């Protein structure tokens, strides 16, 4: 049994690739459940955010299963496996556990310490669990990941004054335009990232923010909370004509602003410059829009430079956070090894108890003259004897270091005590050698 992670993120793939690996249709956990049908996958979770798309799986055969998952990811997105292979990472065993813990703790994010990722990991887990795609191993893994993230938040300063992607978008707007007070801001989208952007902006503006969204009701709700204005999606063109800065973050699978569409907008603007910050994934704005005179388009990868300027102090805390992750990885790996030894421990206890009960039953006639208190004393003494006999072997098995030695000692224990039908000799009567 091993944890396996196959995926890509902001470090391994550009936005043009990441926007194509989004696992559409996984809102109900259907894709996670589909992954459990892939050969070698026993449990699965899909994690899909603006900066990563990955599969967390439990498998007994990491190598072959990793290739099967990579091919399935490509197939789900109508891509050839070779088109994404160079961008994928493959992690298994302790490396995979460490990766999951670091992701949940926001140590693997484009924005170190950003708070949104933990909620996204929880949501991915919730969907997979609800769809029946997880089991005891991934359930334990994710709960320990959440615990690790909580420790990192409470014991280090990694998340203090967190710089989110939304915050970076606002910083970029200020870097480009300077004072934003008299600028007209159009916000396209009313989701979490759009709302965060708007709240960062709102304290710096004199003009009300205009919110456009497919759901006019949601646009109105966000606009009211910002003392701004709402506009239905069909009037987006009007909003674009009047805006100085556009921040867009919708959940659309296709660009909502194309080059031809925006050429029409710019004619109405008389080519007055406009700055567009597209933090959606997949992107809301066609890259070719940036070729139009007067348009300055930035996407989520362009925020990296802004983020770097704000991370100095937090990197010092990251070392402490990595130590916490390392501690929790060791604890989880130790727990997984107890799963390997548990059946042998249970079988040993059951065999010793069966021997005890058999001997008491055989001596039942001789013990018949004993009173209730004396019989209870015999029960206590005999149970104590078998517990003491079992104690040292059980403690030893739980503390065995490497996986290969664990298997050796499990086999030895099963042969010594003849557990689970194990034979202590080979068919030719010669003890089978152990090769580590």
275-287 pLDDT tens trace? 998 988 889 999 9
The answer on 97 and 66 residing in a single domain is yes
Mark whether 151 and 11 lie in a shared domain: yes
Q: Which of 50, 220, 227, 253 is catalytic?
A: 50
Residue 26 lies in a domain: yes
Task: Tell whether the model's pLDDT for residue 133 goes beyond 90.
Answer: yes
Strands in 368-412 per DSSP E: none
Instruction: Assess whether pLDDT exceeds 60 at residue 401.
Output: no
Are 360 and 294 members of one domain? no
Together in a domain, 61 and 140: yes
Q: 140: buried, middle or exposed (CB in 10 Å: 19+, 13-18, 0-12)?
A: middle
Predicted pLDDT at 420: 66
Q: Is residue 314 part of a domain?
A: no
Lowest mean pLDDT among 11-25, 170-184, 226-240, 348-362: 170-184
Among 141, 160, 179, the domain-final residue is: 160
* Same domain flag for 289 and 194: yes
pLDDT value of residue 72: 96
423 within a domain of the structure (yes/no): no
4 by DSSP, 3-state: which?
A: strand
Query: Is residue 431 included in any domain, yes or no?
Result: no
* Strand, helix or coil for residue 67: helix
Arithmetic mean of pLDDT over the chain: 86
The pLDDT of residue 86 is 96
Q: Are residues 201 and 138 in the same domain?
A: no
Task: Name the phi and psi angles at 209, rounded to 5.
Answer: -70, 135
Residues 151 and 8 in one domain: yes
* C-alpha–C-alpha distance, residues 74 and 426, integer Å: 47
Report if residue 319 sits inside a domain: no
Q: Which of helix, strand or coil describes residue 368?
A: coil
Separation of alpha carbons 79 and 76, rounded Å: 8
- How far, in Å, CA of 289 to CA of 253, rounded? 17
Between helices 312-362 and 403-417, what is the axis angle to 10°? 10
What is the crossing angle of helices 312-362 and 136-155, to 10°? 140
CB-CB contact of 292 with 7 (8 Å) = no
Q: Let me know whether 284 and 182 are in one domain.
A: yes
Count of beta carbons in the 10 Å neighbourhood of residue 434? 10
Domain that holds residue 359: 335-417
| CA dihedral over 379, 385, 388, 391, signed as positive or negative | negative
Looking up tokens 């893994």, which residue turns up? 141
**Is 150:156 a contact under the CB 8 Å cutoff?**
no
Domain-terminating residue out of 160, 192, 218: 160
Separation of alpha carbons 240 and 251, rounded Å: 19
Q: Is residue 172 part of a domain?
A: yes
Q: Do 155 and 16 belong together in one domain?
A: yes
Is the pLDDT reported for residue 127 higher than 90? yes
Residue 117 within any structural domain of the chain? yes
* Residue 196 resides in a domain: yes
Residue at a domain's end among 135, 160, 185: 160
Same domain, 154 and 191: no
36 CB-near residues (< 8 Å, 6+ apart): 42, 43, 44, 133
User: In this model, does residue 405 exceed pLDDT 60?
Assistant: yes
Domain co-membership, 180 together with 136: no
Q: Count up the domains in the chain and report the number.
A: 3
Q: Are residues 340 and 296 in the same domain?
A: no
pLDDT at 334: 82
Active-site residue, 227 included: no
The whole-model pTM stands at 0.72
Task: Categorize the per-residue pLDDT at 341 as very low, low, confident or very high, splitting at 50, 70 and 90.
Answer: confident
Look up residue 119 and give its two tokens. Answer: 């909620």
């Amino acid at each position: 049994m091993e944890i396996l992670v196959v995926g890509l993120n902001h470090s391994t793939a550009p936005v043009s690739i990441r926007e194509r690996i989004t696992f559409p249709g996984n809102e109900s956990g259907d894709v996670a459940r589909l992954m459990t049908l892939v050969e070698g996958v026993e449990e699965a979770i899909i994690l899909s955010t603006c900066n990563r798309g990955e599969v967390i799986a439990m498998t007994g055969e990491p190598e072959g299963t990793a290739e099967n998952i990579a091919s399935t990811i490509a197939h789900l997105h109508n891509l050839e496996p070779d088109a994404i292979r160079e961008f994928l990472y493959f992690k298994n065993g302790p490396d995979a556990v460490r990766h999951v813990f670091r992701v949940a703790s926001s140590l693997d994010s484009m924005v170190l310490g950003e708070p949104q990722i933990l909620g996204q990991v929880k949501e991915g887990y919730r969907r997979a669990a609800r769809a029946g795609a997880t089991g005891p191993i991934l359930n334990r893994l994710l709960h320990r990941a959440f615990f690790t993230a909580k420790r990192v938040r409470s014991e280090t300063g990694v998340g203090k004054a967190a710089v989110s992607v939304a915050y970076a978008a606002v910083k970029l707007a200020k870097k480009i335009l300077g004072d934003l007070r008299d600028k007209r801001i159009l916000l396209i989208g009313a989701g979490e990232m759009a709302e965060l952007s708007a709240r960062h902006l709102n304290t710096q503006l004199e003009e009300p923010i205009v919110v456009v969204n497919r759901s006019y009701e949601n646009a109105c709700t966000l606009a009211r909370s910002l003392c701004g204005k709402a506009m239905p999606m069909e009037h987006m063109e009007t909003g674009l004509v009047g805006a100085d800065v556009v921040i867009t973050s919708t959940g659309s699978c296709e660009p909502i602003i194309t080059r031809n569409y925006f050429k029409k907008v710019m004619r109405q603007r008389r080519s007055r410059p406009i700055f567009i910050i597209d933090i959606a994934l997949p992107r809301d704005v066609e890259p070719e829009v940036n070729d139009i005179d007067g348009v300055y388009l930035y996407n989520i990868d362009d925020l990296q430079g802004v983020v770097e300027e704000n991370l100095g102090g937090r990197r010092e805390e990251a070392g402490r956070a990595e130590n916490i992750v390392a501690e929790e990885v060791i604890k989880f790996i130790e727990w997984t090894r107890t799963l390997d030894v548990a059946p042998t421990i249970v079988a040993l206890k059951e065999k010793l108890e069966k021997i005890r009960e058999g001997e008491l039953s055989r001596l039942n006639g001789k013990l018949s003259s004993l009173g209730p208190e004396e019989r209870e004393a015999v029960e206590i003494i005999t149970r104590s004897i078998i517990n003491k006999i079992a104690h040292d072997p059980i403690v030893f098995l739980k503390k065995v270091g490497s996986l290969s030695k664990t298997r050796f000692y499990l086999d030895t224990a099963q042969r010594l005590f003849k557990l689970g039908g194990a034979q202590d000799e080979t068919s030719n009567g010669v003890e089978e050698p152990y090769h580590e």
